[in-house]
Structure 1
Amino acid sequence: MERLPYIDEHARSIDSNRDRAWKALLRVMCKDPNDPSAPSGFRLDSIDAPARLALSGRHWFSRYALIFELDDEGPSHTRIRAKSWGEFPGLHGKIYRALVVGSGVHRVVVRRLLRQIAAAA
């Protein structure tokens, strides 16, 4: 993965062991934990089960990456982190960043994903 400028990181503790949390992550992000594929707008960069899922994407106004990392917090607790990076070149990119990141929409979407993963676990 090409190194992009850091945007943010969000994390959540899940009342589940890491294997169950990993399967929940794949159900939410890939729809089928037995056949992981990138969700729309992303490509699958790497999978290191049950610890790391790296996705990236690009379109006219940005290049971006979203990486999920899972860490044990005990025998039945997992911490999941969603790290975001992105580059928004040119005037259109700056406007797009303001609309997506600056407005708080990105934060809301990532936190909702983490809640969905926790609920699925």
Structure 2
Amino acid sequence: MQVASLPYLDEHTTVIEAESADVWRGLAETLDRAFSGRGWGGYARLVGCADRTASGPRPPAEGSTFPGWRVAAAVPGRELVLQGSHRFSSYALIFRLEHVAPGRSRLRAESRAVFPGPSGTVYRTLVIGTRGHVVGMRRLLSAVRRRSE
């Protein structure tokens, strides 16, 4: 499924006191740490993710994978598009970096997903309805900010 065809879920933003190149490095390191651990890998297997291991170049480039995610596009210092699927959903996470001022960058994380069928509806309720997704995204962006500054 194409990223653009996935329904928009939400967007989270943070301003980071660092240049875009430093934020790009921080983003790559944070994603590796967040998605390559045993817990996330086990979850990816449990729900039947298409990509279940970390592979490819680091920092991530098109075709690199994390458990649950494949890099669909990577423009260093500007944009990173992650895409994935499992039994209950097809989804994407689009990170966009913007120069705000010397030594300041804005990182946006846009989420898109579709949750087909009755099991998808239940999964959406568990992930989105409980605000677990919001908490996870805020933690992820905070981790990128800490690692980059």
Structure 1-normalised TM-score?
Answer: 0.94
- Equivalent of 2:22, from 20, 23, 44? 20
| SS of residue paired to 1:50 | coil
Q: Counterpart of 1:12 in structure 2: which amino acid?
A: T
Question: Structure 2 regions of 5+ residues with no counterpart?
Answer: 34-56
Match of 2:121 in 1: 94
Match of 1:10 in 2: 12
Deviation for aligned residue 1:30: 3.1
Deviation for aligned residue 1:102: 1.1
Deviation for aligned residue 1:82: 0.4
| SS of residue paired to 1:57 | strand
Q: How many residues get paired?
A: 121
Aligned-partner Cα distance in 2 for 1:74–1:86: 32
What does residue range 1-121 of structure 1 map to in structure 2 within 5 Å?
1-2=2-3, 3-30=5-32, 34-36=58-60, 37-121=64-148
Aligned-partner Cα distance in 2 for 1:79–1:35: 19
Deviation for aligned residue 1:34: 3.9
Aligned-partner Cα distance in 1 for 2:82–2:144: 16
Structure 2-normalised TM-score?
Answer: 0.77
Deviation for aligned residue 1:23: 0.6
1:6-59 C-alpha deviation (Å, 9 max, x unpaired):
00000000010111011100111135x844233210111010111000001000
Aligned-partner Cα distance in 1 for 2:145–2:72: 23
Aligned-partner Cα distance in 2 for 1:39–1:80: 20
Q: Counterpart of 1:8 in structure 2: which amino acid?
A: D
Aligned-partner Cα distance in 2 for 1:35–1:78: 19
Aligned-partner Cα distance in 2 for 1:54–1:120: 20
Q: How big is the alpha-carbon RMSD for the aligned residues of Structure 1 and Structure 2?
A: 1.6
Aligned-partner Cα distance in 2 for 1:68–1:35: 14
Question: Structure 1 regions of 5+ residues with no counterpart?
Answer: none
- Please identify, of 33-42 and 56-65, the stretch whose mean Cα deviation from structure 2 is larger: 33-42
| SS of residue paired to 2:101 | coil
Of Structure 1 and Structure 2, which has the larger fraction of its residues in helix?
2
